[in-house]
Structure 1
Amino acid sequence: MSPTLMALVDGSAYSESVCRHAAWIARRTGAQVKLYHVLDPRRTPAQRDLSGSIKLGARSDLLEKLSALDEQHARLSQAHGRAILEDARALMAGDGVEDVVTRLRSGDIVETVAAKEGAADMILIGKRGEAAGLEAPHLGSNFERIVRASHKPVFVANRAFRPISRVLIAYDGGVSSMKAVDYVARNPLFAGLDVVVATAGAETGQTRRALDDARATLEAGGHAAEAHVLRGHPGKALGEVVEQGGIDLLVMGAYGHSRIRTLVIGSTTTEMIRSCRIPVVLMR
């Protein structure tokens, strides 16, 4: 059975990158892509309290006009969502991917992901959403909520797609980072890519053995992996490897232990993902 990708598009500047990364994954794995656009009810016109000194006749007339405006807004939101999905489908077709289905939903995006991720093998989201500008210092408002709630690998797309040939795995020996190593070793998505596995901290016998075990797992999967122990703070050390080592994709556990634990769902990792100019795959 072919894998399935759940790609979330919202019409933001990052949506094109989500589509292009989804197309890249689909071409390498034969996956079907399900494009989701979720209409946020919180962005619809708020319920209005028209109680007060307005005369009854005037208020009734106003209520009718406001109701008509709400209906028009709902229709426009639906049309806008369908247009986003059709543009995304066309973009993927241009990248050679035809096995694409579109889904327009209304509600909370995290609840939608929770309800639909069971049929997906990976979730793709943009680093920022349509509510955040390109220079905004924060990540998309739903980013952390989705990562916390999801039980599937989450692919966080950066601003622009570029070909991926070299992958870095941030490894700390924790359960999720071991899953990350196994995921890269087994998944055809990573076949033929250069792989580097690295940890941050003092080099001890235990650290070296853990890295050797990780490298052995990768080699069993056909990867001639490099293994490194990095000095210094994990965020800075890994960031330097990304910048100086020609890394195109970072894979890391969503939860870990020791010093790298703070890299995910914490101040250090949100800062790293925010500043990092490459996509990131987060493993649970």
Structure 2
Amino acid sequence: MNIDRKILACVDTTPMADVVTDYATWAARRLDAPVELLHVLERHVELSDNQDHSGAIGLDAQEKLMDRLTQEDAERTRSAREQGRVLLSGLRERAEQGGATTVDSRLRHGDIEETLAEQQEGSRLLIIGRNGHPRRDAKTGLGQHLEWVVRSATRPVLVVTEAYREPRSVLFAFDGSSVTRKGVDMLAGSPLLRGLKLQLLIAGEPGAAEQKSLDAAVVSLVAAGIEATASTRAGSPKEVVADALATGGFDMLVMGAYSHSPLRSLLFGSKTTDMLTSTCVPTLLLR
């Protein structure tokens, strides 16, 4: 086991933490890698609605108010830390019972984005949950943290939703880009999907270069022990992938992630965001 190539599982106090842990355990078994459960406590100062927090109160009252708020904040922090320890202890036991051989946990207090940027070093896979049942016409709802994590990640990111289901059949949204070609090499060199069925799917009629890349990808994946096949379907990538997921019985989607800048995505939209908001299956985003 390579202890320097951990699976970093980001958990919170929602029911999604169990799902993230279960997928981290699945990945740990297949990769023979340690799991690190990360829970970040963000600092939010909450003030009572029936108190006057304006500058219109006297200096002595202001000092008493600040002392009281500081004490309340410290109490909330202590309570959140204890809740976090209990959460991580239960999830660590869950992972160990699921077959993960080495499980560590880390409780941090601060900014979640900065913490994840620091903690992903030394990891081989980042797993994060997305709450909510997406709709095929969904436009927003990913959440600030999730999109930031995926954009800033230097490792593959597995975004999971709803209940855990062990992956057996995988759909790879292949477009012939450098990201997906590198993704093929990454999957071929990893035991994560070895022995599973994987279908590479191109939306639209592939050109000669795309068809050549698709054929080469199948050969490479089959040689690595993955039951790979390829197909093409007419239509937009979002519609084609959504239809395939709805009818093909796939347990996981693989695709490239955010090849354009946040500004371009703001102006023209993002295929990654569109796809994530239109699927309910776990999505492995290649970086």
- TM class, shorter-length: 0.7 to 0.9
2:15 aligned to which of 13, 18, 42:
13
- Any conservation in 2 of the 1:9–1:36 contact (CA below 8 Å)? yes
- Any conservation in 1 of the 2:256–2:272 contact (CA below 8 Å)? no
Aligned to 2:28: 26
Aligned to 1:236: 239
Aligned to 2:39: 37
1:124 aligned to which of 121, 127, 130:
127
CA distance in structure 1 between the aligned counterparts of 2:194 and 2:42, rounded to whole angstroms: 38
SS in 1 for 2:35: strand
Number of aligned residues: 273
CA distance in structure 2 between the aligned counterparts of 1:56 and 1:224, rounded to whole angstroms: 73
Range with bigger deviation, 17-26 or 215-224: 215-224
The structure-2 alpha-carbon separation of the partners of 1:230 and 1:50, relative to structure 1 and needing over 3 Å to count, comes to: same
CA distance in structure 2 between the aligned counterparts of 1:276 and 1:50, rounded to whole angstroms: 44
1:168 aligned to which of 155, 171, 195:
171
CA distance in structure 2 between the aligned counterparts of 1:213 and 1:180, rounded to whole angstroms: 13
CA distance in structure 1 between the aligned counterparts of 2:204 and 2:13, rounded to whole angstroms: 41
- Any conservation in 1 of the 2:25–2:100 contact (CA below 8 Å)? yes
Write the mapping of 1:260-279 to structure 2, written as runs, cut at 5 A. 266-279=269-282
CA distance in structure 2 between the aligned counterparts of 1:20 and 1:109, rounded to whole angstroms: 22
- TM-score, normalization: structure 2? 0.86
Aligned to 1:214: 217
- Any conservation in 2 of the 1:153–1:283 contact (CA below 8 Å)? yes
SS in 1 for 2:159: strand
Write the mapping of 1:152-163 to structure 2, written as runs, cut at 5 A. 152-163=155-166
Letter of the aligned partner of 1:44 in structure 2? V
CA distance in structure 2 between the aligned counterparts of 1:232 and 1:34, rounded to whole angstroms: 40
1:138 aligned to which of 136, 141, 163:
141
Q: CA deviation at 1:106?
A: 1.7
Identity of aligned residues (%): 37
State the Cα deviation string for residues 228-279 of structure 1 (Å, max 9, x = none).
112101011011111211111111111459xxx98xx944432321231210
Letter of the aligned partner of 1:179 in structure 2? K
Q: CA deviation at 1:49?
A: 9.3
The structure-2 alpha-carbon separation of the partners of 1:18 and 1:151, relative to structure 1 and needing over 3 Å to count, comes to: same
CA distance in structure 2 between the aligned counterparts of 1:158 and 1:233, rounded to whole angstroms: 24
Letter of the aligned partner of 1:30 in structure 2? D
1:114 aligned to which of 117, 120, 123:
117
2:229 aligned to which of 226, 229, 244:
226
2:64 aligned to which of 61, 65, 77:
61
- Any conservation in 2 of the 1:169–1:181 contact (CA below 8 Å)? no
SS in 1 for 2:144: coil
The structure-2 alpha-carbon separation of the partners of 1:58 and 1:255, relative to structure 1 and needing over 3 Å to count, comes to: closer
Q: CA deviation at 1:60?
A: 3.4
Letter of the aligned partner of 2:179 in structure 1? S
CA distance in structure 2 between the aligned counterparts of 1:187 and 1:52, rounded to whole angstroms: 60
State the Cα deviation string for residues 102-161 of structure 1 (Å, max 9, x = none).
101122222112212121001000023xxxx66796123311100111110001011111
CA distance in structure 1 between the aligned counterparts of 2:54 and 2:228, rounded to whole angstroms: 69
CA distance in structure 2 between the aligned counterparts of 1:140 and 1:90, rounded to whole angstroms: 29
CA distance in structure 2 between the aligned counterparts of 1:22 and 1:182, rounded to whole angstroms: 22
- Any conservation in 1 of the 2:173–2:202 contact (CA below 8 Å)? yes
- TM-score, normalization: structure 1? 0.87
CA distance in structure 1 between the aligned counterparts of 2:259 and 2:164, rounded to whole angstroms: 28
- Any conservation in 1 of the 2:11–2:17 contact (CA below 8 Å)? yes
- Any conservation in 2 of the 1:81–1:104 contact (CA below 8 Å)? yes
- CA-based RMSD of the aligned residues comes to 2.5
Structure 1, unpaired ranges of 5+: none
Q: CA deviation at 1:75?
A: 1.0
CA distance in structure 2 between the aligned counterparts of 1:185 and 1:171, rounded to whole angstroms: 15
Q: CA deviation at 1:178?
A: 0.9
SS in 2 for 1:190: coil
Aligned to 1:187: 190
Range with bigger deviation, 226-235 or 51-60: 51-60
CA distance in structure 2 between the aligned counterparts of 1:113 and 1:232, rounded to whole angstroms: 37
